[in-house]
Amino acid sequence: MVESRTVRLDLSITGRMELDGDLTLVKRARDGDYGAFQVLFERYRTLAYRFAYQMTNSRDDAEDIVQEAFVRAYQNLHRYRDEAKFTTWVLRIVTNLCTDRARSSQRRTVLEQQEAAGALDWMTQGTPDDPVGNLEEERRRSALKRALNALPPHHRMMIVLRDIEEREYPDIAAVVGCTIGGAKLRVLRARRALKDRVAPLLGDV
């Protein structure tokens, strides 16, 4: 009977933590409640992994980066400013780790991503019932993936944040450390760079 009550109590505590806001969980984690930080990890590890994978094109690298990012986040909770979104703060850590990984490694791997639903609609158009159109769409998608993979990390980051992850400009600005206007300009430049790389690829096919 006592054991049953304990299990119910643990589940009740876990349930309440799941409903807690990020800031409440961060404050609990600062006070030594590792379970609160575990909830934050479970809540946002997929988001962090998806972003890291888009940046590195490697599952192994992305998993390593996510683990390291949350370790660093836990170790530096005292530096987290409560007025910032926790997700933005974590993505900034992931961004820095991805940049470090790109600088330390010159190798390129084949891009193994699947576009998020509706992502990059400004570059690809679909016609489900048209076989010829489908072939053309596949040609564009293939060229787009190759071009995205070939972009410098700073341009690829903007495309991933805005067009694949669909982050808002204030979040992008916070992640990369610039103004909202600067974020918009960086996205514009990244899109132009991507188009410049896509055009010759389409012309070669």
Tell me how crowded residue 44 is: count the other CB atoms within 10 A of its CB. Answer: 19
Does residue 42 share a domain with residue 4? yes
Of 66, 88, 109, the last residue of a domain is 109
Of 109, 134, 153, the last residue of a domain is 109
Identify residue 185 by its one-letter amino acid code.
Answer: L
Supply the DSSP string of 54-104, one letter for each residue: HHHS-HHHHHHHHHHHHHHHHHTGGG--TTS-HHHHHHHHHHHHHHHHHHH
The pLDDT assigned to 43 comes to: 94
Does residue 164 share a domain with residue 129? yes
Q: What is the pLDDT of residues 76-119, one digit of tens each?
A: 998 898 777 899 999 999 999 988 887 766 444 333 343 343 44
Does residue 123 share a domain with residue 181? yes
Does residue 48 share a domain with residue 20? yes
Q: Does the structure show a pLDDT above 50 at 12?
A: no
Does residue 125 share a domain with residue 104? no
* Residue 52: domain span: 1-109
For residue 126, give both structure tokens: 């679909």
Q: Residue 190's Cα: distance from chain center in Å?
A: 17
Q: Against a cut of 0.85, is the pTM above it?
A: no
For residue 161, give both structure tokens: 């944040």
What is the number of domains present in the chain?
2
Of 83, 109, 135, the last residue of a domain is 109
Q: What is the pLDDT of residues 128-161, one digit of tens each?
A: 555 555 566 777 777 788 888 888 888 899 999 9
